[in-house]
Structures are given as C-alpha cells and as structure tokens.
Amino acid sequence: MTNSFRFKWSLKTLARQFNQSLMNRSVSPYLATRLNRSAIVFAPHQDDETLGCGGTIARKKQAQAELEIVFMTDGARSHSKFIAEAELKAIRKQEALAATAILGVPERDLIFLDIRDGSLQHCRELAGDRVKEILGDRRPQEIFIPYSGDTPPDHYATNQIVRKALEDLDFKAAIYEYPIWFWRHWPWTSFVGNRQEKLDVLSSTWKAQFGLKLAREFRYAIDISEVLETKKKALNCYRSQMVRLTCDRWPILADVSNGEFLECFLQNREFFYLQPSARSPQNRQWRFGHKAIRSPAMQGVKF
C-alpha cells in the first residue's frame, strides 16, 4: 500500500466518521408510535422505494399501517443498450411485485403510472392529475418522496409533481424526502471511474458541502436494524439492477463507486429530510446560518 493511497484512505475514513458523528448528534428518531400512520411512497423507478425506505416500509407494515406505493415511471430505459424497453418494463414490474411482497405490501396496494422512463419531467400535467387523484382519494398522513437534491430528472420531477399536487389540493401531510443519488458524494463514495464519473462525484460533493449538507438536512431517521435482512432480500429481487443479466457489460448498482454507493442503503438507519411545514413546534429545528439549533425539548436526543 503506497503512502499516497494510505493517506487518501485515511482522510476519507476520518471525514466519513466525522460526518457520521454529526448525523448521530443531530438526528431525531422517528417515533414508534407513528409507525401505524397511513402513508404513500412515491418512487421514480422500481427499486427506489426499497433503496430509500425499504426498511421503513417493512416496519410500517409490521405495525399494520395502510401503505401504498406509486411507481411513477416504467423503469424501462435503465439498460436500453442491452435489452428492449418492453422486455425490461415487464421484468421490472415483476421485480417490484416480488420485492414489495417481501416488504409486506400486497399487489393491490401498488400503483403503476407507467410513464416512460426518463420522460416524467415532460409529462408533469398527466402525472400531476393522477397524483392528485390518488392523494385526494387516500389522504395519507405521511408521504415519502425522493429528495429534491437528487439529480436524476425523474427523481426531481417526482418530488415536484407530488409537492405541486399537495399544494393544489391544499392538503397537509408529513412529507419525508429520502435520498438516493444524493448519497453519491465524498466521503460516502470515492472519486473512482472514468473522467466524467469523477467529475460527477466532484460536483455532487461540492453541492453536498463535503457531506455537511447530509448531516444538516437529514434530521430524521428510522431504525431498520431488525428488518435490514428483509430489506436486503427485497433489494435482491431487483435482479436487473443487482445482477448482470445478459453480458459482462450490464451495469449494476454495485458498480457505482465500487460498491460504496450501495452500502449507503444497507445501514441500520434510513435518513429523511422532513419538510419544515410538517415539523411539530417541539421538534422543529431552527436554523441560523449553518448551525441548526433544536428546541429545548429535543436537546441531547440521539439515535
């Protein structure tokens, strides 16, 4: 091991430990008494629901919560260079049925909007009308959506479509945003891959303020240690994303940052950004500059 490699590894490890320490100090637990609250999870693609909040889904279903999952796109273009879209669309739907069944969600509680993968931002009106119909009918107590800082267009569009629908309906619910591709920044992932991939990580790292934004914004966490194996089993149902189906060049999640990206979703907790309007006064974190100050009721709380 060269001195240069050892230094880079040590610096990354220290930075990651520092960020983890900040998160441990600032995070508030999602109370067990809330697990039975009704919820809808909006996922841009089939696997995002399991990656971002699979453990949360499993725990809520164990608590007998009414929970539905809405898949916004058909997920058919993730491997368009290797397989026909129609074939992959069918595969990913079956994968979703298997994965969510393991998490405890029956097929009757799944909704597939089937908007073409990668086109959600161009179908906002169509998707928005459907989302408003769903929210208006169900009126869940909690809503889970991708984090607004996620860079893939379908992820950002999902966030914006759901928030716009809630605004149009004048409907209040606790909105939890879960990170997916936001995790892909140093020190959580390394600068590996080709030149463009390294530049992408560098850009993400700058936007994430070298991990500090994750610690500042994702102040709510759900302990999923007891259902982590269930989450792993559900994730493994997504073979099109976890296994090379047709050839050695078939990209999988474990390829991203040499597996470090995937490891972010296999922690004992799932982290969420709670929309400020949904925070109760006693749990609200008031921010002055870059420092988050908790109300006295939450001082010293760790998770």
What residues are paired with 39 via a beta bridge? Answer: 67, 142
Closest-CA residue to 40 (of 180, 124, 168, 145):
145
pLDDT in tens, 37-72: 999 999 999 999 999 999 999 999 999 999 999 999
Q: What is the CATH number of the domain that holds 211?
A: 3.40.50.10320
Report the number of distinct structural domains present in the chain. 1
Residue ranges of the chain with pLDDT lower than 50? Answer: 1, 5, 7, 280-303
Beta-strand pair 67-73/110-115: parallel
- Domain contains 280: yes
Nearest-angstrom CA–CA distance, 181 and 188: 11
Is 73 part of any domain? yes
The pLDDT tens digits of the residues spanning 104-154 come to 999 999 999 999 999 999 999 999 999 999 999 999 999 999 999 999 999
- Residue 4 lies inside a defined structural domain of this protein: no
Both structure tokens of 175:
């909105």
Cβ contacts of residue 268 below 8 Å, gap of 6+? 223, 224, 225, 228
pTM, rounded to two decimals: 0.88
Is the peptide bond prior to 296 cis by the omega test (within 30 degrees of 0)? no
Range of the domain at 223: 27-298
| Token reading at 86 | 């129609």
pLDDT at 112 (0 to 100): 99
User: Per the domain annotation, does 101 fall within a domain?
Assistant: yes
Q: What's the CA gap between 27 and 221, in Å, rounded?
A: 7
CA dihedral sign, ordered 40, 116, 156, 256: positive
The amino acid at 101: A
Q: Is residue 48 a part of any domain in this protein? A: yes
Structure tokens at 33: 């008494």
Q: What are phi and psi of 94, to 5 degrees?
A: -65, -35
Report yes or no on 5 lying in a domain: no
In a domain, 263, yes or no: yes
- Which of 43, 35, 108 minimizes the C-alpha distance to 74? 43
Structure-token pair, residue 250: 């078939």
What is the pLDDT, as a whole number, of residue 295? Answer: 31
Per-residue DSSP letter, 116: P
Q: Are 219 and 28 in contact (CB under 8 A)?
A: yes
Q: How many residues belong to the chain?
A: 303
Q: Does some domain include residue 16?
A: no
